[in-house]
């Protein structure tokens, strides 16, 4: 099962592998899709009409209602008309009868996705479809139906395509907008992949937008070279003992060193309870919170984090990142290639801080190389994305790299 041919049996094998299903789960998965596809056959026969929307040039299928692109894509592509629709699950497709007969009525266990793809095309009649859900079962069937109507599929990366998620092995799109060369290399080197596409190295519009928004969130002069920044992990990771230990390591280091103060940038969904518990009896002037990781913090000396894409935000702002992780954790961001070993305990953390400060210029050069490898078009990714989408809307083909 390497780069798979497109027939039902191989789709079944691929999705069983991608979703790590055991035999029992696989039987339930196949049975539910078989029954759903039988229902879809009957439903499309009974359906008389498909509702038509107003003119749509870009249809965006979002994975969550608070997706960055729901609000930002229409602004970026103005005056082109952008419509958004939720990337539905199997139950939603059936319950809301989001079905239409596909051009080639060839039944398979995944026939329901052919019908849903046909429904989207008939309802919206878009020139381009943009998706963002990684590893979606819909992807190959949407691409197949859209190819018959000359509608290109563009998939947006919303993070680095690291090796720990099998969903990134799905590449059955027409175009894949990636953060940087590292993402292309990591996907290319995967043993298992489904599909093929043209990779367009656009950079990260989300990171660019985050860093250049919410400025003036701290008082001028409040951030200086004596400041250290700790970027918080997500709420699920904050429950782990390893995360608590890393927070405490840095808090203890700051507390022992009079010359430093520590600013905590929490994850957007964090309830701040862990931070409050760890700092409740410590001097308030040494420990504070910043709600945004942006250019206001660029004068901070060093940044610290666990495995999070925010390590890119730190490096892009101009802050040398120090990664804190367990020794057995794989190096998903190629951190050691640029900065040497990450810190796993108090001795390593102190040594890493001292080594970095003693060789600051060298590490800052490595920071630049690190960000260049992971993020292309560092300051104009928004423009790059708009230019490539505009080409597609005009019937032109953007130049990319073959990914298969």
Q: Where are the domains of the chain?
A: 8-204+380-403, 220-374
Q: What's residue 222's pLDDT?
A: 57
Q: What's residue 4's pLDDT?
A: 40
Ordered mean pLDDT values, 10 residues apiece, the chain (404 residues):
58 93 94 96 89 91 88 95 94 94 88 96 96 96 95 95 94 97 96 96 88 56 76 85 90 91 88 86 84 78 90 92 90 95 94 94 96 92 96 95 95
Both structure tokens of 295:
């250019």
Q: What's residue 3's pLDDT?
A: 42
Q: What's residue 358's pLDDT?
A: 94
- Nearest residue to 212 (alpha-carbon basis) of 382, 399, 18: 382
Contact 115, 101 (CB under 8 A): yes
pLDDT in tens, 175-208: 999 999 999 999 999 999 999 999 999 999 888 8
Q: What's residue 213's pLDDT?
A: 63
Q: What is the C-alpha separation between 62 and 234, in angstroms, rounded? A: 21
CATH number for 8-204+380-403: choose from 1.10.8, 1.20.120, 3.40.50, 3.30.9: 3.40.50
Both structure tokens of 259:
């010359």
- Fold match between domain 8-204+380-403 and domain 220-374: yes
Query: In angstroms, what is the C-alpha Rg of the chain?
Result: 24
Contact 300, 356 (CB under 8 A): no
Contact 335, 363 (CB under 8 A): no
Q: What's residue 243's pLDDT?
A: 87
Question: CA neighbours within 13 Å on the CB side: how many for 399?
Answer: 0
CATH number of 220-374: 3.40.50.2000
């Amino acid at each position: 099962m390497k780069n798979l041919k497109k027939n039902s049996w191989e789709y079944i094998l691929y999705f069983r592998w991608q979703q790590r299903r055991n035999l029992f789960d696989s039987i339930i998965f196949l049975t539910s899709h078989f029954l759903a596809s039988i229902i879809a056959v009957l439903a499309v026969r009974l359906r008389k009409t498909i509702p038509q929307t107003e003119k749509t040039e870009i249809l965006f299928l979002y994975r969550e209602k608070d997706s960055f692109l729901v609000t930002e894509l229409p602004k970026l592509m103005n005056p082109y008309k952008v419509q958004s629709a939720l990337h539905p699950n199997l139950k939603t497709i059936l319950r809301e009868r989001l079905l239409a007969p596909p051009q080639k009525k060839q039944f398979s266990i995944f026939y329901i996705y052919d019908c849903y793809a046909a429904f989207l095309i008939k309802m919206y009649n878009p020139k381009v479809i943009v998706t963002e859900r990684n590893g979606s079962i819909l992807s190959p069937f949407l691409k197949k139906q859209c190819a018959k109507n000359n509608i290109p599929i563009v998939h947006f990366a919303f993070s680095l395509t690291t090796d720990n998620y099998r969903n990134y092995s799905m590449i059955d799109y027409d175009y894949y907008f990636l953060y940087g060369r590292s993402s292309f290399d990591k996907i290319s080197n995967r043993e298992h992949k489904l599909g093929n596409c043209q990779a367009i190295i656009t950079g990260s519009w989300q990171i660019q937008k985050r860093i250049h928004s919410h400025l003036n969130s701290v008082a001028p002069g409040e951030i200086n070279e004596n400041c250290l920044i700790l970027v918080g992990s997500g709420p699920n990771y904050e429950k782990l003992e390893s995360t608590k230990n890393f927070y405490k390591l840095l808090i203890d280091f700051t507390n022992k060193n009079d010359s430093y103060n520590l600013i905590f940038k929490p994850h957007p969904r964090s309830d701040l309870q862990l931070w409050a518990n760890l700092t409740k009896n410590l001097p308030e002037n040494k420990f504070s919170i910043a709600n945004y990781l942006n250019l206001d913090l660029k004068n901070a000396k060093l940044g610290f984090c666990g495995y999070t894409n925010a390590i890119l935000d730190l490096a892009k702002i101009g802050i040398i990142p120090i990664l804190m992780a367990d020794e057995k954790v794989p190096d998903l961001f190629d951190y050691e290639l640029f900065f040497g070993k990450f810190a796993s305990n108090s001795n390593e953390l102190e040594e890493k801080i001292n080594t970095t400060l003693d060789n600051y210029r060298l590490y800052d050069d490595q920071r630049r190389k690190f960000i260049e490898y992971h993020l292309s078009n560092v300051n104009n990714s928004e423009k790059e994305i708009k230019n490539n989408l505009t080409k597609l809307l005009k019937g032109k083909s953007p130049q990319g790299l073959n990914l298969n």
